[in-house]
Structure 1
Amino acid sequence: MSGDVRDRVLALGGLLQATSMVRQIAGNGETDNACLTASIESVFRLDAESPEAVYGSANRVGRGLRVLLQQLEGGGADPAPARLAFTILQVERRFSAQPRMMDKVAGDIAAIDRQREHFGPTHPTVLARLGELYSSTISTLRPRVMVQGNPNYLAQPEVVAEIRATLLAGLRSAVLWRQMGGRYWDVVFARRAMAQAARDWIKRLP
Protein backbone atom coordinates (compact mmCIF):
# COMPACT_ATOMS: atom_id res chain seq x y z
CA MET A 1 0.00 0.00 0.00
CA SER A 2 1.34 3.43 -0.88
CA GLY A 3 -0.06 6.92 -1.09
CA ASP A 4 0.65 10.49 -2.15
CA VAL A 5 1.94 13.41 -0.13
CA ARG A 6 -1.55 14.15 1.22
CA ASP A 7 -1.78 10.65 2.69
CA ARG A 8 1.67 10.93 4.22
CA VAL A 9 0.87 14.32 5.70
CA LEU A 10 -2.33 12.97 7.25
CA ALA A 11 -0.33 10.15 8.86
CA LEU A 12 2.20 12.65 10.21
CA GLY A 13 -0.70 14.72 11.51
CA GLY A 14 -1.90 11.66 13.40
CA LEU A 15 1.59 11.10 14.79
CA LEU A 16 2.02 14.69 15.92
CA GLN A 17 -1.44 14.71 17.45
CA ALA A 18 -0.34 11.77 19.59
CA THR A 19 3.00 13.28 20.58
CA SER A 20 1.48 16.68 21.39
CA MET A 21 -1.02 14.95 23.65
CA VAL A 22 1.75 12.95 25.32
CA ARG A 23 3.45 16.25 26.15
CA GLN A 24 0.21 17.66 27.53
CA ILE A 25 -0.68 14.60 29.58
CA ALA A 26 2.83 14.43 31.04
CA GLY A 27 2.74 18.13 31.86
CA ASN A 28 -0.68 18.58 33.43
CA GLY A 29 -2.25 15.11 33.62
CA GLU A 30 -5.01 15.65 31.07
CA THR A 31 -5.73 16.31 27.41
CA ASP A 32 -8.59 16.92 24.99
CA ASN A 33 -10.85 13.87 25.14
CA ALA A 34 -12.02 14.12 21.51
CA CYS A 35 -8.42 14.09 20.26
CA LEU A 36 -7.52 11.25 22.59
CA THR A 37 -10.53 9.25 21.41
CA ALA A 38 -9.56 9.71 17.75
CA SER A 39 -5.97 8.67 18.39
CA ILE A 40 -6.83 5.62 20.50
CA GLU A 41 -9.47 4.45 18.03
CA SER A 42 -6.86 4.55 15.25
CA VAL A 43 -4.98 1.79 17.06
CA PHE A 44 -7.88 -0.57 16.45
CA ARG A 45 -8.32 0.27 12.75
CA LEU A 46 -5.61 -2.01 11.41
CA ASP A 47 -7.48 -2.83 8.20
CA ALA A 48 -8.91 0.57 7.31
CA GLU A 49 -9.77 1.17 3.65
CA SER A 50 -7.93 4.49 3.45
CA PRO A 51 -5.58 6.68 5.50
CA GLU A 52 -8.47 8.97 6.40
CA ALA A 53 -10.51 5.98 7.58
CA VAL A 54 -7.76 5.14 10.09
CA TYR A 55 -8.80 8.25 12.01
CA GLY A 56 -12.47 8.25 11.10
CA SER A 57 -12.02 11.54 9.24
CA ALA A 58 -9.36 14.21 8.76
CA ASN A 59 -11.35 16.42 11.14
CA ARG A 60 -10.39 14.15 14.00
CA VAL A 61 -6.67 14.85 13.55
CA GLY A 62 -7.06 18.57 12.98
CA ARG A 63 -4.96 19.30 16.05
CA GLY A 64 -2.12 17.19 14.71
CA LEU A 65 -2.29 18.75 11.24
CA ARG A 66 -2.01 22.22 12.76
CA VAL A 67 0.95 21.14 14.90
CA LEU A 68 2.58 19.65 11.80
CA LEU A 69 2.12 22.86 9.82
CA GLN A 70 3.64 24.86 12.66
CA GLN A 71 6.64 22.53 12.69
CA LEU A 72 7.09 22.76 8.91
CA GLU A 73 6.81 26.54 8.87
CA GLY A 74 8.82 27.22 12.03
CA GLY A 75 7.75 30.32 13.84
CA GLY A 76 8.51 29.33 17.42
CA ALA A 77 6.62 26.03 17.51
CA ASP A 78 7.31 23.78 20.50
CA PRO A 79 9.98 21.36 19.20
CA ALA A 80 9.20 18.63 21.74
CA PRO A 81 6.32 16.95 19.82
CA ALA A 82 8.50 16.78 16.70
CA ARG A 83 11.41 15.27 18.64
CA LEU A 84 9.10 12.63 20.09
CA ALA A 85 7.67 11.95 16.63
CA PHE A 86 11.14 11.50 15.16
CA THR A 87 12.01 8.97 17.86
CA ILE A 88 8.78 7.05 17.25
CA LEU A 89 9.58 6.92 13.52
CA GLN A 90 12.94 5.36 14.42
CA VAL A 91 11.28 2.86 16.74
CA GLU A 92 8.75 1.98 14.04
CA ARG A 93 11.56 0.90 11.70
CA ARG A 94 12.76 -1.62 14.27
CA PHE A 95 9.22 -2.70 15.10
CA SER A 96 8.43 -3.36 11.44
CA ALA A 97 11.52 -5.54 11.19
CA GLN A 98 10.21 -7.92 13.89
CA PRO A 99 7.31 -9.99 12.52
CA ARG A 100 6.78 -11.87 15.79
CA MET A 101 6.35 -8.67 17.75
CA MET A 102 4.05 -7.28 15.07
CA ASP A 103 1.89 -10.40 15.27
CA LYS A 104 1.74 -10.23 19.06
CA VAL A 105 0.77 -6.57 19.04
CA ALA A 106 -1.94 -7.17 16.42
CA GLY A 107 -3.29 -10.17 18.35
CA ASP A 108 -3.38 -8.31 21.66
CA ILE A 109 -5.06 -5.30 20.05
CA ALA A 110 -7.77 -7.61 18.71
CA ALA A 111 -8.31 -8.96 22.24
CA ILE A 112 -8.40 -5.47 23.78
CA ASP A 113 -10.85 -4.38 21.07
CA ARG A 114 -13.59 -6.36 22.81
CA GLN A 115 -13.14 -4.21 25.90
CA ARG A 116 -13.06 -1.08 23.76
CA GLU A 117 -16.44 -2.04 22.31
CA HIS A 118 -17.82 -2.59 25.81
CA PHE A 119 -16.29 0.32 27.74
CA GLY A 120 -15.25 2.84 25.07
CA PRO A 121 -11.77 3.72 23.75
CA THR A 122 -10.67 6.02 26.57
CA HIS A 123 -11.92 3.95 29.49
CA PRO A 124 -9.17 3.44 32.10
CA THR A 125 -9.31 -0.34 31.61
CA VAL A 126 -8.70 -0.01 27.87
CA LEU A 127 -5.93 2.54 28.33
CA ALA A 128 -4.31 0.36 30.99
CA ARG A 129 -4.26 -2.68 28.71
CA LEU A 130 -2.90 -0.70 25.78
CA GLY A 131 -0.29 0.76 28.11
CA GLU A 132 0.72 -2.70 29.27
CA LEU A 133 0.99 -3.85 25.65
CA TYR A 134 3.22 -0.90 24.81
CA SER A 135 5.38 -1.52 27.88
CA SER A 136 5.90 -5.22 27.15
CA THR A 137 6.67 -4.80 23.45
CA ILE A 138 7.41 -1.39 21.94
CA SER A 139 9.24 0.00 24.97
CA THR A 140 11.82 -2.80 24.67
CA LEU A 141 12.97 -1.40 21.30
CA ARG A 142 15.65 1.21 20.82
CA PRO A 143 15.87 4.11 20.86
CA ARG A 144 13.77 4.45 23.99
CA VAL A 145 11.00 7.03 23.83
CA MET A 146 11.74 9.37 26.72
CA VAL A 147 8.85 11.47 28.01
CA GLN A 148 9.50 14.46 30.25
CA GLY A 149 6.87 16.17 32.32
CA ASN A 150 5.58 16.92 35.81
CA PRO A 151 6.91 14.26 38.24
CA ASN A 152 3.67 14.44 40.22
CA TYR A 153 1.72 13.20 37.19
CA LEU A 154 4.38 10.82 35.92
CA ALA A 155 4.22 9.02 39.27
CA GLN A 156 0.52 8.21 38.77
CA PRO A 157 -0.09 4.76 37.16
CA GLU A 158 -3.22 5.88 35.31
CA VAL A 159 -1.35 8.82 33.75
CA VAL A 160 1.54 6.59 32.73
CA ALA A 161 -0.93 4.14 31.16
CA GLU A 162 -2.58 6.95 29.21
CA ILE A 163 0.80 8.18 27.97
CA ARG A 164 1.84 4.69 26.87
CA ALA A 165 -1.47 4.09 25.13
CA THR A 166 -1.09 7.39 23.30
CA LEU A 167 2.47 6.49 22.28
CA LEU A 168 1.04 3.27 20.83
CA ALA A 169 -1.35 5.44 18.82
CA GLY A 170 1.65 7.41 17.65
CA LEU A 171 3.30 4.19 16.49
CA ARG A 172 0.12 3.33 14.57
CA SER A 173 0.45 6.59 12.66
CA ALA A 174 4.17 5.95 12.08
CA VAL A 175 3.30 2.58 10.55
CA LEU A 176 0.75 4.32 8.31
CA TRP A 177 3.37 6.91 7.30
CA ARG A 178 5.73 4.15 6.17
CA GLN A 179 2.94 2.27 4.39
CA MET A 180 2.11 5.46 2.48
CA GLY A 181 5.71 5.67 1.28
CA GLY A 182 7.01 8.11 3.90
CA ARG A 183 10.77 8.53 4.22
CA TYR A 184 12.90 10.55 6.63
CA TRP A 185 14.26 12.76 3.89
CA ASP A 186 10.74 13.87 2.90
CA VAL A 187 10.77 16.36 5.76
CA VAL A 188 13.87 17.97 4.21
CA PHE A 189 13.31 17.66 0.48
CA ALA A 190 9.50 17.72 0.34
CA ARG A 191 8.94 20.27 3.08
CA ARG A 192 7.15 22.79 0.84
CA ALA A 193 4.85 20.17 -0.67
CA MET A 194 4.08 18.76 2.78
CA ALA A 195 3.25 22.21 4.15
CA GLN A 196 0.89 22.85 1.24
CA ALA A 197 -0.79 19.48 1.76
CA ALA A 198 -1.23 20.27 5.46
CA ARG A 199 -2.81 23.63 4.53
CA ASP A 200 -5.14 21.86 2.10
CA TRP A 201 -6.28 19.46 4.81
CA ILE A 202 -6.74 22.28 7.34
CA LYS A 203 -8.87 24.28 4.88
CA ARG A 204 -11.32 21.37 4.85
CA LEU A 205 -11.68 21.31 8.62
CA PRO A 206 -14.86 22.72 10.17
Structure 2
Amino acid sequence: MADQTMQQQQWRNRTLALAGLIQAAGLVDQLARTGQAEPKAMEASINSLFAFSSENAEQAFGGIDNLEFGLRSLRDILSGNDYAEKQNILRYSMGVMHLQKKLRNDRDMTSLMANRLQHAAKKTEFDDSDISSLCTSLAAIYQDTLSKFSYRLQIRGSAQQLQSSHNAAKIRALLLAAVRSAFLWHQSGGSRWVLLFQRGRLFEQTKQMLNTEIRH
Protein backbone atom coordinates (compact mmCIF):
# COMPACT_ATOMS: atom_id res chain seq x y z
CA MET A 1 0.00 0.00 0.00
CA ALA A 2 2.84 2.38 0.89
CA ASP A 3 4.54 1.52 -2.42
CA GLN A 4 1.32 2.27 -4.30
CA THR A 5 0.94 5.64 -2.55
CA MET A 6 4.57 6.48 -3.31
CA GLN A 7 4.08 5.57 -6.96
CA GLN A 8 0.94 7.73 -7.18
CA GLN A 9 2.83 10.65 -5.66
CA GLN A 10 5.66 10.15 -8.14
CA TRP A 11 3.23 10.29 -11.07
CA ARG A 12 1.65 13.41 -9.61
CA ASN A 13 5.06 15.09 -9.28
CA ARG A 14 6.00 13.99 -12.78
CA THR A 15 2.79 15.32 -14.34
CA LEU A 16 2.97 18.68 -12.56
CA ALA A 17 6.65 19.13 -13.49
CA LEU A 18 5.80 18.45 -17.14
CA ALA A 19 2.88 20.90 -16.85
CA GLY A 20 5.34 23.50 -15.50
CA LEU A 21 7.59 22.96 -18.51
CA ILE A 22 4.68 23.12 -20.96
CA GLN A 23 3.37 26.25 -19.20
CA ALA A 24 6.65 28.13 -19.68
CA ALA A 25 6.93 26.94 -23.30
CA GLY A 26 3.33 27.97 -23.96
CA LEU A 27 3.97 31.44 -22.54
CA VAL A 28 7.06 31.75 -24.76
CA ASP A 29 4.87 30.89 -27.76
CA GLN A 30 2.24 33.47 -26.74
CA LEU A 31 4.85 36.22 -26.33
CA ALA A 32 6.59 35.39 -29.60
CA ARG A 33 3.35 35.50 -31.57
CA THR A 34 1.32 38.24 -29.83
CA GLY A 35 3.58 40.06 -27.36
CA GLN A 36 1.17 39.11 -24.55
CA ALA A 37 1.24 36.26 -22.02
CA GLU A 38 -1.27 35.01 -19.47
CA PRO A 39 -0.31 37.12 -16.37
CA LYS A 40 -0.99 34.64 -13.54
CA ALA A 41 0.84 31.80 -15.31
CA MET A 42 3.72 34.12 -16.20
CA GLU A 43 4.18 35.27 -12.61
CA ALA A 44 3.99 31.70 -11.28
CA SER A 45 6.56 30.43 -13.79
CA ILE A 46 9.01 33.26 -13.07
CA ASN A 47 8.60 32.90 -9.29
CA SER A 48 9.28 29.15 -9.51
CA LEU A 49 12.91 30.04 -10.23
CA PHE A 50 13.28 31.38 -6.70
CA ALA A 51 11.70 28.42 -4.88
CA PHE A 52 15.15 27.04 -4.07
CA SER A 53 14.14 24.55 -1.38
CA SER A 54 11.20 23.06 -3.31
CA GLU A 55 11.31 19.32 -3.91
CA ASN A 56 8.56 19.18 -6.54
CA ALA A 57 6.61 21.38 -8.96
CA GLU A 58 3.61 21.81 -6.67
CA GLN A 59 5.88 23.41 -4.05
CA ALA A 60 7.87 25.41 -6.62
CA PHE A 61 4.71 26.91 -8.12
CA GLY A 62 2.99 27.55 -4.79
CA GLY A 63 0.10 25.17 -5.45
CA ILE A 64 -1.60 23.40 -8.32
CA ASP A 65 -3.82 26.41 -9.20
CA ASN A 66 -0.72 28.21 -10.49
CA LEU A 67 -0.20 25.39 -12.98
CA GLU A 68 -3.68 25.51 -14.52
CA PHE A 69 -2.46 27.05 -17.79
CA GLY A 70 0.21 24.34 -18.12
CA LEU A 71 -2.15 21.50 -17.19
CA ARG A 72 -4.73 22.61 -19.76
CA SER A 73 -2.07 22.90 -22.46
CA LEU A 74 -0.64 19.50 -21.51
CA ARG A 75 -4.08 17.90 -21.66
CA ASP A 76 -4.69 19.37 -25.12
CA ILE A 77 -1.32 18.16 -26.39
CA LEU A 78 -1.70 14.63 -24.98
CA SER A 79 -5.25 14.33 -26.36
CA GLY A 80 -3.85 14.81 -29.88
CA ASN A 81 -6.67 17.22 -30.81
CA ASP A 82 -4.52 20.34 -30.65
CA TYR A 83 -1.30 18.82 -31.94
CA ALA A 84 -0.76 21.07 -34.99
CA GLU A 85 -1.54 24.22 -33.03
CA LYS A 86 0.85 23.25 -30.25
CA GLN A 87 3.82 22.18 -32.40
CA ASN A 88 5.96 25.15 -31.39
CA ILE A 89 5.30 24.44 -27.70
CA LEU A 90 6.32 20.81 -28.18
CA ARG A 91 9.46 21.82 -30.05
CA TYR A 92 10.46 24.30 -27.35
CA SER A 93 9.77 21.72 -24.63
CA MET A 94 11.94 19.07 -26.25
CA GLY A 95 14.68 21.65 -26.82
CA VAL A 96 14.53 22.69 -23.16
CA MET A 97 14.87 19.06 -22.07
CA HIS A 98 18.00 18.84 -24.21
CA LEU A 99 19.40 22.04 -22.64
CA GLN A 100 18.58 20.76 -19.16
CA LYS A 101 20.56 17.58 -19.84
CA LYS A 102 23.57 19.59 -21.04
CA LEU A 103 23.34 21.86 -18.00
CA ARG A 104 23.07 18.89 -15.64
CA ASN A 105 26.36 17.57 -17.04
CA ASP A 106 28.13 20.92 -16.56
CA ARG A 107 28.69 21.44 -12.83
CA ASP A 108 30.45 24.79 -13.21
CA MET A 109 27.60 26.27 -15.21
CA THR A 110 25.00 24.79 -12.85
CA SER A 111 26.81 26.38 -9.90
CA LEU A 112 27.08 29.74 -11.70
CA MET A 113 23.37 29.71 -12.51
CA ALA A 114 22.43 28.85 -8.91
CA ASN A 115 24.60 31.66 -7.54
CA ARG A 116 23.21 34.20 -10.00
CA LEU A 117 19.62 33.19 -9.17
CA GLN A 118 20.33 33.50 -5.44
CA HIS A 119 21.73 36.99 -6.06
CA ALA A 120 18.67 37.97 -8.15
CA ALA A 121 16.37 36.69 -5.40
CA LYS A 122 18.13 38.81 -2.75
CA LYS A 123 17.94 41.86 -5.00
CA THR A 124 14.15 41.47 -5.39
CA GLU A 125 13.76 41.37 -1.59
CA PHE A 126 15.21 44.88 -1.35
CA ASP A 127 13.90 46.74 -4.38
CA ASP A 128 10.51 45.05 -5.02
CA SER A 129 11.18 44.67 -8.77
CA ASP A 130 8.27 44.39 -11.17
CA ILE A 131 8.07 41.42 -13.50
CA SER A 132 9.67 43.28 -16.45
CA SER A 133 12.83 44.34 -14.59
CA LEU A 134 13.04 40.90 -12.99
CA CYS A 135 12.89 39.30 -16.44
CA THR A 136 15.74 41.56 -17.59
CA SER A 137 17.93 40.19 -14.76
CA LEU A 138 16.90 36.61 -15.53
CA ALA A 139 17.52 37.09 -19.26
CA ALA A 140 21.10 38.12 -18.44
CA ILE A 141 21.52 34.89 -16.45
CA TYR A 142 20.21 32.91 -19.44
CA GLN A 143 22.63 34.65 -21.80
CA ASP A 144 25.60 34.02 -19.49
CA THR A 145 24.79 30.33 -19.06
CA LEU A 146 22.48 28.44 -21.42
CA SER A 147 23.30 30.68 -24.39
CA LYS A 148 26.91 29.49 -24.17
CA PHE A 149 25.96 26.01 -25.37
CA SER A 150 26.30 25.35 -29.09
CA TYR A 151 22.65 24.15 -29.17
CA ARG A 152 20.29 27.10 -29.61
CA LEU A 153 16.52 27.16 -29.37
CA GLN A 154 14.96 28.84 -32.39
CA ILE A 155 11.88 30.80 -31.36
CA ARG A 156 9.22 31.33 -34.03
CA GLY A 157 6.73 34.16 -34.06
CA SER A 158 6.06 37.71 -35.19
CA ALA A 159 9.21 39.57 -36.24
CA GLN A 160 7.87 42.69 -34.52
CA GLN A 161 7.41 40.87 -31.20
CA LEU A 162 10.72 39.03 -31.37
CA GLN A 163 12.62 42.26 -32.07
CA SER A 164 11.22 43.89 -28.91
CA SER A 165 13.90 43.87 -26.19
CA HIS A 166 11.20 43.61 -23.48
CA ASN A 167 9.69 40.51 -25.11
CA ALA A 168 13.12 38.97 -25.72
CA ALA A 169 13.95 39.36 -22.01
CA LYS A 170 10.66 37.77 -20.97
CA ILE A 171 11.19 34.88 -23.40
CA ARG A 172 14.69 34.17 -22.05
CA ALA A 173 13.43 34.37 -18.46
CA LEU A 174 10.65 31.89 -19.28
CA LEU A 175 13.11 29.53 -20.96
CA LEU A 176 15.08 29.60 -17.72
CA ALA A 177 11.87 28.72 -15.86
CA ALA A 178 11.22 25.93 -18.36
CA VAL A 179 14.66 24.46 -17.63
CA ARG A 180 13.84 24.60 -13.90
CA SER A 181 10.69 22.53 -14.53
CA ALA A 182 12.68 20.16 -16.75
CA PHE A 183 15.00 19.54 -13.77
CA LEU A 184 11.96 18.72 -11.61
CA TRP A 185 10.66 16.41 -14.39
CA HIS A 186 13.99 14.57 -14.44
CA GLN A 187 14.13 14.35 -10.63
CA SER A 188 10.67 12.76 -10.54
CA GLY A 189 11.73 10.04 -12.99
CA GLY A 190 10.53 11.77 -16.14
CA SER A 191 12.27 10.83 -19.41
CA ARG A 192 11.73 10.52 -23.15
CA TRP A 193 10.70 6.89 -22.52
CA VAL A 194 7.93 8.04 -20.19
CA LEU A 195 6.72 10.47 -22.85
CA LEU A 196 6.78 7.73 -25.50
CA PHE A 197 5.26 4.84 -23.57
CA GLN A 198 3.28 6.40 -20.72
CA ARG A 199 1.40 9.18 -22.52
CA GLY A 200 -1.93 7.62 -21.54
CA ARG A 201 -1.01 7.63 -17.86
CA LEU A 202 0.09 11.27 -18.05
CA PHE A 203 -3.12 12.19 -19.92
CA GLU A 204 -5.37 10.52 -17.31
CA GLN A 205 -3.42 12.12 -14.46
CA THR A 206 -3.73 15.56 -16.10
CA LYS A 207 -7.48 15.19 -16.70
CA GLN A 208 -8.06 13.99 -13.14
CA MET A 209 -6.23 16.97 -11.62
CA LEU A 210 -8.07 19.46 -13.85
CA ASN A 211 -11.44 17.89 -13.00
CA THR A 212 -10.97 17.50 -9.25
CA GLU A 213 -8.35 20.01 -8.05
CA ILE A 214 -8.61 23.15 -10.18
CA ARG A 215 -11.21 25.62 -8.96
CA HIS A 216 -13.70 26.41 -11.74
Q: What amino acid is the match of 1:26?
A: A
Q: How many residues align?
A: 205
Choose 71-80 or 192-201, whichever is displaced more: 71-80
Structure with higher Rg: it is: 2
Match of 1:75 among 81, 87, 90: 81
Distance (whole Å) between structure 2 residues aligned to residue 31 and residue 158 of structure 1: 12
Identity of aligned pairs, percent? 27
Match of 1:58 among 55, 64, 68: 64
1:80–1:129 CA distance, 2 compared to 1 (3 A): same
- Native 8 Å contact 1:6 1:197 kept in 2: yes
Q: What amino acid is the match of 2:80?
A: G
- Native 8 Å contact 1:40 1:122 kept in 2: no
Choose 47-56 or 176-185, whichever is displaced more: 47-56
- Native 8 Å contact 1:91 1:142 kept in 2: no
Choose 44-53 or 96-105, whichever is displaced more: 44-53
Structure 2: where are the runs of 5+ without partners? Answer: 1-6
1:120–1:196 CA distance, 2 compared to 1 (3 A): farther
**What is the match of residue 43 of structure 2?**
37
Q: What amino acid is the match of 1:53?
A: Q
**What is the match of residue 188 of structure 1?**
196
TM-score normalised to the size of structure 1?
0.94
* Mapping for residues 117-196 of structure 1, pairs under 5 Å: 117-120=125-128, 122-196=130-204
Q: 1:118 Cα shift?
A: 4.0
- Native 8 Å contact 2:16 2:71 kept in 1: yes
**What is the match of residue 101 of structure 1?**
109
**What is the match of residue 3 of structure 2?**
none
Distance (whole Å) between structure 2 residues aligned to residue 142 and residue 31 of structure 1: 28
Distance (whole Å) between structure 2 residues aligned to residue 25 and residue 143 of structure 1: 22
Q: Give a deviation string over 1:132-161, Cα, whole Å, max 9, x none.
A: 110111122243111111111211111100
What is the root-mean-square deviation in Å for CA atoms of aligned residues?
1.6
Q: Give a deviation string over 1:114-145, Cα, whole Å, max 9, x none.
A: 23334557532211010011011112224311
1:114–1:162 CA distance, 2 compared to 1 (3 A): same
